[in-house]
Amino acid sequence: MSTAAPAYTAGEEQVVAIEERQPAGLRQLVFDHPRILIGLLLLLVLVFVALLAPWISPHNPLAVNPDDARLSPGAGHVMGTDELGRDVLSRVMWGGRISLPVAFVAVGVGLTVGSLIGLTAGYRAGVTDLLLMRLIDAILAFPALILAIALVAALGPSLRNAMIAIGIVQIPVYARLTRAQVLQLKSLDFVTAARALGASPVRIIARHMLPNLLNPLIVQVSLSAAFAMLAEATLSFLGLSAPPPTPDWGFMINTGQSFLINGDWWMTVGPGAAICVAVFGFNWLGDALRDALDPRLRR
């Protein structure tokens, strides 16, 4: 006995069509794009190692032991020791407590300030847009790393100033991205309808524009974090970030590179591998999120 297909009214058909177009949840998003899971796992491993470093690191990262100086990797020191006899593995673990927060704080500064500038410039337009964008163009006139080095040199070498400098050089990226999205959203019907119904600019931005800005901003955050990691490593390599003897990946590479000529490769491989894993994780996650959240790139 055959079963007849259910009949839908015009309204029910619209509801079904809308339900079929609803975006997938986080769990479905991860299953459809396994690269997101890989990127998250890499970053979570680094975060957990950094958080648990006081309990899982095999040695004191600051303990100096001249008798064990420049030991090659072995049973007692998995990644060897540096020129002062400090355990490289322990210093790499503790270094994550310095390098990773710099990326998150710097991205937070760039995201907050840049998004506010982009929202204001895109929504107000006119003279406000002209002045704010000329300010952004002035920042973009300098190479990002050169500007960050100049800012830290002017403010004074410290971890806090390194965070501020890296955050400032990331402001233009978020400002231009947000402004472009706002200009596009302003011309859409639902924004025009909300304005015609008397909605205030704050309500239009908060209720109608910000939800549509989340996807591109989330992708940009993950990609900018990779740049922030490299920028912090560069500043610390030049001695413009956390002062010694604080374990910092960039500074560890700086001190270890002078011993490469003697064949002591392990002093630089450990922190270099940590930077590579962090940058790869952020870039991998950013590319995967872009493919998953951009409708034009969905398969």
In which band, very low, low, confident or very high, does the pLDDT at 26 lie, cut at 50, 70 and 90? low
Q: Distance between CA atoms of 109 and 228, rounded to whole angstroms? A: 11
Tens of pLDDT, residues 189-217: 888 888 888 888 788 888 888 888 888 89
For residue 229, what is the enclosing H or E element?
A: helix 210-237
What is the rounded radius of gyration, in angstroms, for the C-alpha atoms of the chain?
25
The fraction of the chain above a pLDDT of 70, given in percent, is 87
* Residue 39: per-residue pLDDT: 85
Position of tokens 């930077």? 275
What is the average pLDDT value for the chain, to the nearest integer? 84
Angle between helices 210-237 and 266-293 (to 10 degrees): 170
In the predicted model, is pLDDT for residue 233 greater than 50?
yes
* Residue 209: per-residue pLDDT: 85
* Cα→Cα distances 111→93, 106, 182, 285, Å: 28, 9, 15, 18
Domains and CATH numbers, the chain: 27-64+79-280 (1.10.3720.10)
In which band, very low, low, confident or very high, does the pLDDT at 2 lie, cut at 50, 70 and 90? very low
* Least confident piece of the model among 54-58, 105-109, 123-127, 271-275: 123-127
In which band, very low, low, confident or very high, does the pLDDT at 11 lie, cut at 50, 70 and 90? very low
Tens of pLDDT, residues 48-86: 999 999 999 999 999 999 888 999 998 889 999 999 999
* Residue 190: per-residue pLDDT: 83
**Residues for the chain: how many in total?**
299
In the predicted model, is pLDDT for residue 276 greater than 70?
yes
Tens of pLDDT, residues 126-160: 899 999 999 999 999 999 999 999 999 998 888 89
Q: What average pLDDT does the segment 103-109 reach?
A: 90
Count Cβ atoms below 10 Å from residue 101 Cβ, excluding itself.
Answer: 14
* Residue 95: per-residue pLDDT: 92
Q: Distance between CA atoms of 137 and 141, rounded to whole angstroms? A: 6
The structure's pTM equals 0.82
For residue 226, what is the enclosing H or E element?
A: helix 210-237
